[in-house]
Amino acid sequence: MSRRHYWGLAAAFNPAKKVDTEAGTGIAESATGGFINFANLKKESQPATLAFLNGKSVAERIPPADEKGIDSPDLYLVPPTKEGQKSHSPAVPKFSRRAAFAEAATRDNTLLARAFVNRMWANLMGRGIVQPADQIDSVNTRAIRNCSNGWLTISKQSGYDVKRLERNIVTSRAYQTRFQT
């Protein structure tokens, strides 16, 4: 993980804050501001951009330091309430950094899907295909091959069907042999 990735995560969560709503506690996100800079290894200041470990990044217009962002209700899907009032739900901007982070981390991420399959296998079988279960990564190529069996893969084509994955595992010969009485 490089500094760019760390500060990319910080930028994704910087404009979020905890708020009390009529439905309970929630997380509101501001549509303006929250931009941060960090010093790279050459001690040069640069803006933190939404850059993630899987190589994806999210383009975002970062205003110049002298430009003040004006917060207005038309920047929100769910606008924030006035100070001192309780809202029905937390503020949701039209462009959400947290939603962009979630999209970048999960969309077409086969490594995440394989790690999930390995975790499900470990939960049901007592031991993952790759052990320890959280060690599936791009370096562990054997693990990726083992978790990419056709019937075991959770994929976009199956609609990320977790019930189907669970059914495939518990009806497998390996599971039946393991829990035979």
The pLDDT of residue 76 is above 80: yes
The pLDDT of residue 141 is above 70: no
**Does residue 159 or residue 78 have the better pLDDT?**
78
- pLDDT tens readout for residues 85-119: 777 888 889 988 888 888 887 777 777 777 888 88
Among 125, 114, 106, 108, which residue's Cα sits nearest to residue 179? 125
- As a whole number of angstroms, the distance between CA 119 and CA 96 comes to 29
Contact 21, 90 (CB under 8 A): yes
Asked whether residue 91 falls in the same domain as residue 134, the answer is no
33 CB-near residues (< 8 Å, 6+ apart): 15, 69, 71
- As a whole number of angstroms, the distance between CA 122 and CA 154 comes to 15
Asked whether residue 8 falls in the same domain as residue 47, the answer is yes
Asked whether residue 16 falls in the same domain as residue 80, the answer is yes
Tally of structural domains, the chain = 2
**Nearest 5°: phi and psi at 93?**
-75, 160
- Domain residues for 170? 110-178
Asked whether residue 63 falls in the same domain as residue 124, the answer is no
The pLDDT of residue 147 is above 80: no
The answer to whether residue 104 is domain-embedded is: no
The pLDDT of residue 144 is above 70: no
**Does residue 31 or residue 65 have the better pLDDT?**
31
- As a whole number of angstroms, the distance between CA 181 and CA 167 comes to 20
Asked whether residue 85 falls in the same domain as residue 119, the answer is no
Asked whether residue 140 falls in the same domain as residue 168, the answer is yes
Q: Residue 123 — pLDDT band, cuts 50, 70, 90?
A: very high
Where among 99, 133, 166 does a domain terminate?
99
Asked whether residue 94 falls in the same domain as residue 164, the answer is no
Q: What is the pLDDT of residue 63?
A: 76
Asked whether residue 21 falls in the same domain as residue 93, the answer is yes
Asked whether residue 53 falls in the same domain as residue 121, the answer is no
Predicted TM-score (pTM) of the model is 0.66
Count CB-CB contacts under 10 A for residue 71.
15
